[in-house]
Structures are given as C-alpha cells and as structure tokens.
Copies of this chain bind each other. A is one copy, B any other.
C-alpha cells in the first residue's frame, strides 16, 4: 500500500477515535497528512471508504489475535495453572485491548455503533461475543484439567471478563489515552485476574 494512503488511514483513525467519524472532516485529515483535500480522493473513493478500510484492517487483526488465542489454548506451552492463563491474558491484553491501533478502533466502534449498524455488530462481536466465547472455552479447559470445580463456564467467563471490560471503558476508551491511563488499566485488570484465579 502507498505511503500517503497509509498516512491518511493513520490520521483518520487518530481523529475518528477521538471525535467520531462524522465530526471529522476531510480537511482535518488533510491538515495532518499535509496533502490537499482533493488528493484524498485519489486514494479513497470517498470518506466512507476510509472507515471501511479501517474496519477491514481491524477485523484482520482481531481475527489473527483470536486464532493465536485458540492455538495457545489447544497447545499450552506450560500447562501449569497460573502460567496457562497468564500466556493467554498477555495475548489478549497486549496484542489487542491495549494495542494502539486496536484500542483506537474500539473507541471508534464504540462511538459509531449508533450511526452504523454494521459497526454495532462488529463492536458486539469483538468486545463481547468473541471474548466471552473464548473465555468460556478456557474455563471449560481448566475444568477438564481439574484446576477448577465450577463448570458453569459461561457465567465464569462473564464474571471474569466483565470487570476487564469495565476497566477498559473507564481507562482505555475514554478521554485521551495516556500511558498513565494504560497503567491504571493494567494494574486494575491484573489485580482482578489474580484475585479471580485465586478464588476459583
């Protein structure tokens, strides 16, 4: 992909994730990329097409992350309980929730879910459905391995994941994403995870 096109995408995501799609003008994007407005239309059919390209990129990354998770679940490097879920957490946190691109995309999806039904479905899929599904499998696996007794893996997944989602909302998807915010999120989330796995 062309360098300018990449820069347009980067600038667009930056702005979209802060103000929402419709509040960002082509002018705004061009100011960052340092090109003229008409040039955007050489690279993209229209403004909507920029958003769509971002959605596709996000889906690719999210799908890739999910595959990694599935793999690390089926072939755990270290099947000792705490190491087992720690490896998994790291992928999900570092390569997804807190990855700069993904994080911005999630904010964008969160805002745009109201205007755009396709986006709403994407948000639900990648913020609720997929993570909860996967987490259920993890708890089933842990139960099969005898590490936990509780077999209601669906509710367990919810109990495990919902605080993480809340922390993400509070610290990652709101306001300016600073390193400080990331740190607060990380501390809160890992504290929860530790307590959670101690209890079960």
Residues of A that sit less than 8 Å from B by CB: 17-20, 22-23, 107, 110-111, 113-115, 117, 120, 123-124, 128, 155, 158-159, 161-163, 165-166, 169-170, 174-175, 192, 195
Contacts and interface: CB of A to CB of B under 8 A. Distances in A.
19 contacts: A17-B114, A19-B115, A20-B114, A22-B23, A23-B115, A110-B110, A113-B174, A114-B174, A120-B174, A124-B170, A124-B174, A128-B169, A158-B163, A158-B192, A159-B159, A159-B163, A162-B163, A162-B166, A165-B166
Contacts of A169: 128, 165, 169
A126 to B, nearest CB: 13
A166 B175 contact: no
Contacts of A170: 124, 128
Given A20-B115, A128-B169, A159-B159, 17 more contacts: A19-B114, A19-B115, A20-B20, A22-B22, A22-B23, A23-B115, A107-B114, A111-B111, A113-B175, A123-B174, A124-B170, A128-B166, A155-B192, A162-B162, A165-B165, A165-B169, A166-B166
B120 A175 contact: yes
